[in-house]
């Protein structure tokens, strides 16, 4: 032992070993330090190159199985339309066409700006994606938040992310993909795999990734599922959905994996084929029982199709497999809340709170549940907490709910103030405009109320409330023609709305008398 | 997810400067190395090895049995049983360039202290086998069905070296290795599982490899330990992700590391699967190389272990414990999440241990160098959860207690008595203080009205009747004008119960002589504020009537006077000298005695004289003075002393009829009304001044506004006219404010006089209408003497409201006089409505007149 203690070389620990261990523990900065030190000495050190590539990929890795936002080009120049005819219940573009029984209708459960009923969980691309071209170019350009626009294409945004990550690196990009001889790399499986992931997740250059993957898959004799999966990924990012579908299917045929299944379903969702997506998810569920991501994926499609009952059954199933799934708990809470069971919803939200979720939305929901469950002492505390945590994105919603509660307790002044704050925070908050209109109407400010209803309608075209309110106001003012127009529009948005039907009946009666 | 927290049973902190990575933690079976307990080995990259011996739950001083510096970085540490019979417990330590197998032995030199030291049994240096190569990891197993445990070391160049003890038995190189990966050995199928850098899981059948190697070497004459042979894998499976850990699950182990322990046996059904923990998923792969199932992980896993589960009493189920980078651990079974819990540390390595008497403890080594043993969020099995003990309400007991309380009134109210008894009592005593130094500092512009003999000492005795001690008892005294004390507040730092504390307060009359007026009251109020343990912030109050000597001195009687009050009594009056004996100083005694027998004069500090003249025969006395207000103090004092004198006499001989004092002549209302009018007129002037000053303030604001306006204007103009305006306003403003100051002084004097007049009137009313004390108290409360300072809400507002209420509530409800009363009241009310809005004394005069008229009529009845 004494010899070793004296020999300093024996005390040295391999940089490579340290870098690998750091990578395992996700100490990415430490790993990069070791790699950079080693690569400075020997730039051709393949082991270190491998580790550094993995490290950089991991740093910029985003879970791409979640559906991302669609670009303007995808919305406007949608070439994947399978049928121009309306497909009731089988298209994500017309969520309202699904017939449903026993579930809360649009009158009780509010809709998002894309016209689908709100779910309990905010997911990428599902809350604000305009699924129809109804809004035209203007609607297609409108982004998630006021004042922002969506990217021209999805890959456009990814390219920007890629260039941003290159800029962030000192000394320029680590790998210049354009200068690489991909054929050479394709023959070395270990390096090719990490390089492909690097191009996809770090450089965000799906074109090059597809090039490498196609070379590699030829090299592997077309029987490596991994390369097919990456090929599909690249095609998907390039918007070549049919090619992507082919590759994913081939990959699954070689070896079923969760990632490929989820991606294939995403392809179908992008193609607006929810039934096919559900079929893929179900096949995946038989292959991987208890895989919550597939159950959730299917549930999301049911939600998007306005088929709440099926969605809720799936969320329950998810919770049986994974009792800590935040999305399922939140959706169950929302479902119980909108089916008039605030006490049960409260239990779900409390569970979330116990699990350590602490955000504005949760406190807001807790406040609402407390209010409707008659626990008034807790309500305002919850809203206070929600406002403490709120930022510009969600503060308007909290103030809107404070206003709702104020209306519930009869404090109309507070309600009006709350709605005004909501509108001041988010100038596009349609619901607040609508409610302000109703309050104005009560106060006798008819012109202001009509203006508010009009604003609310412009901001949220799918909502029927501003239209019905405007129609009722016009009816009371004796402007029957205007009232008829408005009520017709309201019924277009929500055909089963009883009050609108009643108003239209009265109007028709009037017209007949005239 | 923080629904539950793992229950920490034991923890120990190593040096935080050391670095720990995966593979730095190992556990020995119970009673290894002849030690009673479970041994845990922790080695850091810095080369420090620590051995902990745990006997059971809880900390002990001797838990850490060995801490030694190996002077070389430690890559991995394992426990293994070696030797022929498999009973040689050893620790295998993998350094970058060296493999050391050692054991723990009791130090012979310190055997008495049971000290251990590390004894290296076998050492193997890698550099001897060819150049400077570095080891990556190792695995222990009976490769190829060998009788004893052997060690397989994987090096960075992709070579696998097999050691039997210190003898290198076999070396071969894996194909297509860029970087080494996790390594595992499945004993049952005799396969080596290695994760490659191309995201693949590779399987090597050991027997195949060994036989092929030996065959080839026999043919070629190669040394099998050179490592020149490249072997092909048995099967390979593309996992698609970087692999972190491989765990073979076999029939005789729940953990690969425990397979080496041998002694530990668990009745688990054969289940030849391999659990592969990858970066984003966890896979179950059959030993034949088929992917059985997969689960995506939405967290960053760091370590995982197989846990044998006892479900529904049956054994034979596997669970996988996965720890993530935030310190949470998840227990999965067939991709179902069974349990999640938060560990106190963020683990880099994890072992599920089986202690002799308990099961399923999780030993975690945190990245912050904390070694912790926890169980999954529940209490140990031996503590059963008992039912909630409810406190039932027994109504019978309540009834019984209530009955007892009702039957014993003393007990019932004992608490109240106790509370009441715990009070601070104040008692006072006056003492004529001749030795008092008049020059004791008071406010400098004050002058003493009388000689030093008129200085009195008020001895205030403060007694706490409760037990214990009160802290910081504050005593304050409120004195009527013109009596002053050197200090108005005193603090007793600590007041013990039962022991009185005496405070001496020196009182004397002093002030500015030009502003002196007849005193409006002769009562001083002493307050003690304190805080008891039970009652918070209490106050005890005591009112003291101040002696006459503080207000006036004996002087020669005056024969003529403007105002006279004659009071009759039903018996002969005592001698004035006897009544006012204490007032007459000894040097003047003779003069007073010689001048008068039945008359005595008093002089107030402002020079007003009051004379008392008694008529012994007619049974009446007269008090006369040039000032109407000055009479009240002498009148009340005289009657007070008379009562005292009569009481003294009646105690000696109770033959006479009770003393009756009466006033036959009409009430001197006219004098009172004059003062009231004066009060009103002064108040009106004050109001006018205030209106004036507010109009000037308005002018100031107007000027200010103009200035601000022109300041911001683009085209400024001359503002000299504003200067002229200000020049005009300021002198007038000064004059008015000076006027207000003067009037306020005058107004306070008028208030004093009014108070004195009312005092006199109340005295007279009492004797005129023969009112008892309660009636007088009611009347006094409605016609107060205390005048409020505020101009907006003064004595007039209060009295007007109070008299109106008195008339409507009390006097008008008096049966017989109702008709007449209401008429009186009506006329007054009508006039009041006319005069509303003006500050007019008419209304209050009418009201007062009505009150006294009603009293007169009711007294006649």
Share of chain A above pLDDT 90, in %: 35
Quick one: average pLDDT of B344-367? 80
Of A389-393, B250-254, B495-499, which one has max mean pLDDT? A389-393
* Interval A357-382: pLDDT, tens: 888 889 999 999 999 998 888 898 89
Lowest model confidence (mean pLDDT) among A62-71, A74-83, B774-783: A74-83
Is the model's pLDDT at B258 over the cut of 50? no
Radius of gyration of chain B (CA): 54
Cα of first residue to Cα of last residue in chain B, in angstroms, is: 91
| CA-wise closest residue to A5 among B14, B24, B95 | B95
Indicate yes or no: CB of B97 within 8 angstroms of CB of A10.
yes
Nearest CA in chain B to A195: B198
If one counts every other C-beta atom within 10 angstroms of the C-beta of residue A41, the result is: 9
Residue with tokens 């998923």: B281
Closest CA in chain A for residue B97: A10
B3 closest CB neighbour out of A5, A320, A355: A355
Residue B5, min C-alpha distance to chain A (Å): 11
As annotated, the residues of chain B forming the CATH 2.130.10.10 domain(s) are 7-375
- How far is B619 from B634, CA to CA, in rounded Å? 18
**Residue B443 has what pLDDT?**
45
**b/e map B537-552, b = 16+ CB within 10 Å:** ebebebebebbbbbbb
**By C-alpha distance, which of B174, B226, B219 is closest to B200?**
B174
Residue in chain B closest to A224 (alpha carbons) equals B238
Q: Is the pLDDT of residue B63 over 90?
A: no
Report the C-alpha gap between A79 and B578 in whole angstroms: 127
* Choice between B388 and B219, residue whose per-residue pLDDT is larger: B219
Q: What is the mean pLDDT of residues B611-619?
A: 80
SS3 (DSSP) at A153: coil
Binning pLDDT at 50, 70 and 90, where does residue B266 land? very low
Where b means 16+ CB within 10 Å and e means fewer, A219-254 reads bbeeebbbbbbbbbbbbbbbbbbebbbbbbbbbbeb
CA distance B137 to chain A (A): 10
CA closest to B181 among chain A residues: A20
Model confidence at A105, pLDDT cuts 50, 70, 90, reads low
Question: How much is the pLDDT for A116?
Answer: 61
Which one of A14, A59, A320 would you mutate to disrupt binding with B, by most B Cβ within 10 Å of its Cβ?
Answer: A14
Measured distance CA(B254)–CA(B247) in Å, rounded? 9
Mean pLDDT, range A137-153, rounded to an integer = 56
Distance from CA of B143 to the nearest CA of A (A): 26
Determine the distance in angstroms separating the CA of B127 from the nearest CA of chain A, rounded to an integer: 9
A226 versus B427: the higher-pLDDT residue is: A226
Within 8 A of B72 by CB-CB distance, chain A residues are 4-5, 10-11
pLDDT at A79: 58
**Contact partners, residue A384, CB within 8 Å, separation at least 6:** none
Query: Best-predicted range by mean pLDDT among A367-371, B221-225, B387-391, B728-732?
Result: A367-371
Range of lowest pLDDT (A233-237, A255-259, B4-8): B4-8
Nearest residue on chain B to A322, alpha-carbon basis: B337
Distance from CA of A322 to the nearest CA of B (A): 5
Q: Which of A317-321, B340-344, B358-362 has the lowest mean pLDDT?
A: B358-362
Cβ <8 Å between A288 and B197:
no
Yes or no, beta carbons of A323 and B96 under 8 Å apart: no
B240 interaction partners in chain A (CB closer than 8 Å): 225-226, 229, 257, 259
Q: Token digits for A135? A: 């809004």
* Residues A20, B244: C-beta atoms closer than 8 Å: no
Mean local confidence (pLDDT), B9-18? 81
From the candidate CATH numbers 3.40.50.720, 2.130.10.10, 3.30.540.10, 3.40.50.1820, the one assigned to the domain spanning B7-375: 2.130.10.10
Inter-chain touch B71–A1, beta carbons under 8 Å:
yes
CB contact under 8 A, B75 and A47: no
3-class DSSP state for residue B487? coil
What's chain B's average pLDDT?
76
Q: How many CB atoms lie within 10 A of CB B317?
A: 17
* pLDDT per position as a tens digit, B781-814: 888 876 555 556 677 877 888 888 888 776 665 5
Is a pLDDT exceeding 90 seen at residue A314? yes
pLDDT band, residue B827 (cuts 50/70/90): very low
Q: Nearest CA to CA, how far is B72 from chain A (Å)? A: 5
Q: Which residue in chain A is spatially nearest to B100 when comparing CA positions?
A: A1
CA distance A467 to A320: 42
Cα-to-chain-centroid distance, residue A485 = 35
pLDDT digits (tens, 9 = 90+) for A149-158: 555 555 556 6
Closest to B4 (Cα-Cα) out of B300, B350, B329: B329
Min Cα distance A114 → chain B (Å) is: 28
Give the whole-angstrom CA distance, residue B332 versus residue B293: 13
Contact A24 B22 (CB under 8 A): yes
Distance from CA of B198 to the nearest CA of A (A): 4
Straight-line distance from the first to the last Cα atom of chain A, in angstroms, rounded to the nearest whole number: 111
Inter-chain touch B179–A291, beta carbons under 8 Å: no
| Chain B: residue whose CA lies nearest to A260 | B240
Per CATH, the architecture of B553-662 is what?
2-Layer Sandwich (3.30)
The phi-psi region of residue B72 (left if phi > 0; otherwise alpha if psi is between -120 and 50; otherwise beta) is: beta
Is CATH 2.60.40.10 what the domain over B416-549 is classified as, yes or no? Answer: yes
Across A80-94, A222-236, B288-302, least confident range: A80-94
Report pLDDT for B415: 45
Question: CATH 3.30.310 in chain B, residues?
Answer: 553-662
Instruction: Report ipTM for this prediction.
Output: 0.84
Q: How many CB atoms lie within 10 A of CB B58?
A: 9
Which of the two residues, B840 and B42, has the higher pLDDT score? B42
pLDDT in tens, B174-227: 888 888 999 999 888 888 899 988 899 999 888 877 777 766 665 554 455 555
Query: What is the predicted pLDDT for the residue at B225?
Result: 56
A355 → closest Cβ in B1, B291, B325: B1
Q: Find chain B residues with C-beta within 8 A of A195's C-beta.
A: none
**What's chain A's average pLDDT?**
82
Mean pLDDT, to the nearest integer, of A290-310?
87
Mean pLDDT of A174-178: 78
Q: If pLDDT is split at 50, 70 and 90, which confidence band does A452 have?
A: very high
pLDDT, mean of residues A237-266: 91
Domain boundaries, chain A: 15-59, 360-513
* pLDDT tens digits, A39-62: 888 888 888 999 999 999 998 888
Taking CB atoms and an 8 Å limit, are B71 and A4 in contact across chains?
Answer: yes
Closest to B202 in 3D by CA, of B156, B180, B234 = B234
Q: Inter-chain contact B2–A356, Cβ cutoff 8 Å?
A: yes
**Per-residue model confidence as pLDDT tens digits over A418-431:** 999 999 998 888 88
Question: What are the tens digits of pLDDT across the range B745-793?
Answer: 888 888 888 888 888 888 888 888 888 888 888 888 888 876 555 556 6
The number of beta carbons lying within 10 Å of the beta carbon of residue B771 is: 17
Task: State percent of chain B over pLDDT 70.
Answer: 75
Mean pLDDT of B361-385: 69
Q: Which of B92, B114, B97, B93 is nearest to B105 (CA)?
A: B114
Can you give the C-alpha Rg of chain A in angstroms? 28
* C-alpha to C-alpha distances, B532 to B420, B460, B527, nearest whole angstrom: 12, 20, 16
Residue of B121, B194, B240, B304 for testing the chain A interface, max A β-carbons within 10 Å: B240
Does residue B269 surpass a pLDDT of 70? no
A184, containing H or E segment: helix A182-186
pLDDT bucket at A117, cuts 50 / 70 / 90: low
Counting DSSP H helices and E strands in chain A, the numbers are 28, 0
Query: What pLDDT, on the 0 to 100 scale, is given for residue A162?
Result: 60
Nearest CB neighbour to B244, from listed A12, A24, A354? A24
Give the pLDDT of residue A167: 56
Distance of residue B264 Cα from the nearest chain A Cα, in angstroms: 31
Q: Which residues pair with B431 in a beta bridge?
A: B457
Cβ contacts of B134 on chain A, cutoff 8 Å: 13-14, 16-17
Looking at chain B, the domain(s) classified CATH 2.60.40.10 span 416-549
Rounded mean pLDDT of B497-526?
79
Mutate to test the interface with B, among A50, A324, A355 (most CBs of B within 10 A): A324
| Å between B1 CA and nearest CA of chain A | 5
**Residue A153 pLDDT:** 59
Contacts of B291 in chain A (CB under 8 A): 255-256
Are the C-beta atoms of B89 and B81 separated by less than 8 Å?
yes
Cβ neighbours of A4 in B, within 8 Å? 71-72, 95, 97-98, 125
φ, ψ (nearest 5 deg) of residue B230: -110, 125
B511 Rama sector, left if φ>0, alpha if ψ -120 to 50, beta otherwise: left
Three-state DSSP class for residue A258: helix
Residue B667 pLDDT exceeds 80? yes
Backbone angles phi, psi at A494, to 5 degrees: -145, 90
Suggest the residue from B128, B180, B295, B319 to mutate for an interface test with chain A (most A CBs closer than 10 A). Answer: B295
Task: Give the pLDDT band of residue B557 (cuts 50, 70, 90).
Answer: confident
Region A360-513: CATH code = 1.25.40.10
β-bridge pairing B538-545 and B523-530: antiparallel
């Amino acid at each position: 032992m004494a010899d070793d203690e004296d020999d300093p070389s024996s005390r040295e620990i391999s940089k490579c070993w340290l870098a690998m261990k750091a990578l395992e523990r996700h100490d990415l900065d430490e790993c990069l330090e070791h790699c950079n030190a080693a690569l400075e000495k020997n730039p051709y050190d393949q082991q270190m190159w491998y580790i550094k590539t993995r490290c950089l990929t991991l740093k910029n890795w985003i879970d791409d199985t979640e559906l991302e936002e669609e670009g303007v080009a995808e919305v406007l120049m949608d070439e994947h339309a399978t049928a121009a005819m309306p497909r009731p219940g089988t298209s994500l573009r017309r969520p309202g066409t699904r017939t449903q029984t026993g579930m809360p209708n649009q009158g009780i459960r509010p809709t998002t700006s894309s016209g689908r009923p709100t779910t309990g969980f905010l997911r990428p691309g599902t809350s604000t994606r305009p699924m129809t071209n109804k809004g035209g170019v203007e609607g297609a350009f409108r982004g998630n938040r006021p004042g922002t626009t969506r990217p021209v294409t999805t890959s456009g945004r990814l390219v920007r992310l890629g260039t941003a990550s290159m800029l962030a690196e000192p000394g320029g990009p680590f790998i210049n993909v354009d200068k690489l001889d991909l054929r050479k790399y394709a023959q070395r499986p270990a390096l090719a795999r990490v390089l492909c992931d690097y191009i996809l997740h770090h450089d965000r250059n799906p074109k090059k990734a597809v090039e490498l993957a196609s070379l590699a898959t030829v090299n592997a004799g077309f029987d490596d599922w991994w390369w097919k999966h990456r090929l599909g990924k690249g095609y998907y990012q390039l918007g070549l959905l049919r090619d992507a579908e082919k590759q994913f299917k081939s990959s699954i045929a070689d070896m079923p994996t969760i990632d490929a299944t989820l991606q294939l379903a995403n392809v179908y969702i992008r193609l607006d084929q929810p039934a096919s997506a559900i079929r893929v998810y179900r096949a995946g569920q038989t292959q991987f029982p208890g895989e919550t991501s597939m159950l959730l994926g299917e549930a999301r499609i049911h939600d998007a199709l306005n088929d709440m009952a099926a969605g809720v059954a799936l969320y329950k199933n998810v919770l049986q497999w994974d009792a800590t799934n935040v999305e399922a708990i939140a959706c169950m809470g929302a479902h119980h809340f909108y089916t008039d069971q605030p006490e049960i919803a409260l239990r779900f939200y409390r569970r979330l709170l116990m699990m350590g979720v602490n955000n504005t939305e949760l406190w807001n929901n807790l406040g609402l549940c407390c209010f409707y469950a008659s626990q008034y002492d807790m309500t305002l505390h919850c809203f206070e907490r929600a406002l403490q945590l709120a930022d510009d994105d969600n503060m308007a919603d909290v103030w809107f709910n404070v206003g709702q509660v104020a209306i519930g307790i009869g404090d109309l002044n507070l309600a009006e103030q709350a709605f005004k704050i909501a509108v001041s925070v988010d100038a596009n908050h349609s619901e607040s405009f609508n409610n302000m209109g109703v309050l104005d109407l009560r106060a006798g400010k008819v012109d202001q109320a009509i203006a508010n209803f009009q604003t609310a309608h412009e901001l949220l075209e799918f909502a029927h409330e501003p239209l019905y309110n405007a129609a009722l106001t016009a009816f009371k003012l004796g402007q029957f023609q205007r009232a008829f127009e408005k009520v017709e529009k309201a019924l277009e948005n929500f055909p089963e709305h009883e009050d609108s039907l009643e108003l239209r009946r009265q109007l028709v009666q009037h017209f007949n008398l005239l | 997810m923080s629904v539950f927290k793992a229950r920490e049973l034991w923890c120990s902190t190593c040096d935080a400067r050391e670095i720990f990575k995966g593979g730095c933690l190992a556990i020995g079976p119970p009673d290894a190395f002849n030690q009673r307990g479970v041994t845990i080995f922790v080695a850091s990259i810095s080369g420090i090895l620590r051995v902990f011996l745990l006997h059971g739950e809880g900390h002990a001083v001797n838990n850490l049995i060995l801490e030694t510096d190996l002077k070389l970085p430690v890559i991995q540490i394992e426990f293994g049983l070696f030797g022929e019979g498999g009973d040689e417990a050893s620790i295998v330590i993998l350094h970058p360039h060296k493999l050391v197998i050692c054991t723990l032995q009791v130090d012979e030199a310190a055997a008495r202290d049971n000290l251990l030291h590390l004894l290296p049994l076998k050492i193997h240096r890698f550099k001897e086998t060819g150049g400077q190569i570095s080891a990556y990891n190792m695995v222990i197993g009976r490769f190829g069905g060998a009788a004893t445990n052997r060690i397989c070391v994987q090096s960075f160049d992709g070579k696998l070296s097999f050691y039997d003890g210190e003898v290198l038995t076999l070396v071969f190189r894996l194909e297509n290795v860029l970087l080494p990966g996790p390594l595992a050995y499945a004993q049952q199928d005799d396969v080596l599982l290695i994760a490659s850098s191309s995201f693949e899981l590779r399987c090597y059948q050991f027997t195949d490899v060994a036989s092929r190697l030996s065959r080839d070497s026999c043919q070629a004459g190669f040394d099998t330990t050179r490592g020149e042979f490249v072997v092909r894998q048995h099967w390979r499976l593309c996992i698609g992700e970087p692999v972190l850990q491989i765990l073979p699950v076999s029939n005789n182990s729940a953990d690969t590391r425990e397979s080496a322990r041998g002694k530990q046996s668990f009745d688990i059904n054969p289940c030849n699967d391999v659990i592969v923990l990858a970066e984003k998923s966890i896979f179950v792969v059959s030993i034949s190389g088929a992917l059985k199932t997969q689960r995506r992980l939405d967290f960053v896993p760091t370590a995982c272990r197989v846990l044998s589960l006892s479900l529904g009493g049956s054994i034979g189920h596997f669970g996988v414990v996965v720890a993530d980078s935030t310190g949470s651990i998840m227990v999965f079974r067939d991709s179902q999440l069974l349990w999640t819990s938060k560990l106190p540390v963020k683990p880099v390595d994890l072992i599920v241990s089986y202690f002799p008497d308990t099961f399923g403890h999780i030993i975690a080594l945190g990245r912050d160098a904390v070694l912790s043993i926890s169980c999954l969020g529940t209490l140990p099995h031996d503590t059963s959860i008992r039912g909630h003990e409810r406190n039932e309400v027994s109504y019978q007991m309540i009834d019984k207690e209530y009955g007892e309380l009702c039957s014993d009134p003393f007990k019932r109210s004992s608490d109240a008595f106790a509370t009441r008894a715990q009070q601070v009592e104040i008692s006072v005593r006056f003492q004529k203080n001749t030795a008092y130094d008049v020059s004791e500092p008071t406010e400098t512009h004050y002058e003493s009205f009388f000689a030093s003999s008129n200085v009195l000492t008020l001895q205030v005795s403060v007694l706490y009747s409760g037990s214990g001690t009160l802290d910081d008892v504050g005593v304050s005294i409120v004195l009527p004008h013109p009596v002053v004390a050197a200090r108005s507040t005193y603090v007793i730092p600590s007041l013990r119960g039962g022991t009185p504390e005496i405070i001496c307060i020196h009182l004397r009359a002093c002030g500015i002589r030009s502003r002196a007026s007849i005193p409006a009251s002769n009562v001083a109020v002493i307050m003690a504020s304190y805080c008891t343990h039970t009652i918070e912030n209490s106050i005890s109050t005591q009112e003291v009537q101040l002696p006459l000597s503080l207000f006036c001195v004996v002087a020669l009687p005056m024969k003529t006077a403007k105002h006279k009050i004659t009071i009759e009594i039903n018996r002969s009056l005592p001698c004035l000298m006897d009544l006012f004996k204490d007032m007459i100083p000894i040097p003047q005694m003779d003069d007073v005695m010689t001048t008068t027998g039945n008359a005595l004069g008093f002089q107030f500090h402002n020079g007003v004289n009051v004379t008392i003249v008694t008529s012994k025969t007619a049974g009446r006395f007269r008090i006369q003075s040039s000032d109407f207000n000055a009479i009240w103090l002498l009148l009340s004092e005289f009657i007070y002393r008379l009562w005292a004198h009569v009481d003294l006499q009646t105690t000696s001989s109770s033959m006479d009829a009770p003393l009756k004092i009466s006033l036959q002549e009409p009430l001197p209302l006219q004098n009172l009304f004059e003062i009231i009018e004066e009060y009103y007129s002064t108040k009106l002037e004050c109001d006018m001044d205030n209106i004036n000053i507010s109009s000037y303030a308005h002018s100031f604001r107007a000027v200010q506004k103009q200035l601000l306006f022109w300041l911001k204007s683009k085209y400024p103009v001359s503002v000299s006219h504003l200067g002229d305006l200000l020049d005009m306003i300021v002198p007038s403003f000064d004059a008015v404010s000076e006027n207000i100051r003067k009037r306020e002084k005058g107004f306070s004097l008028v208030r004093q006089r009014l108070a004195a007049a009312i005092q006199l009137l109340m005295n007279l009313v009492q004797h005129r209408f023969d009112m008892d004390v309660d009636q007088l108290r009611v009347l006094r409360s409605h016609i107060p003497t205390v005048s409020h300072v505020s101009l907006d809400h003064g004595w007039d507002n209060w009295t007007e409201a109070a008299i109106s209420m008195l008339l409507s509530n009390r006097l008008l409800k008096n049966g017989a006089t109702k008709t007449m009363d209401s008429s009186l009241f009506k006329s007054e009310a009508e006039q009041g409505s006319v005069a509303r809005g003006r500050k007019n004394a008419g209304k209050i005069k009418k009201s007062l007149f009505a009150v006294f008229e009603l009293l007169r009529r009711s007294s006649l009845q």
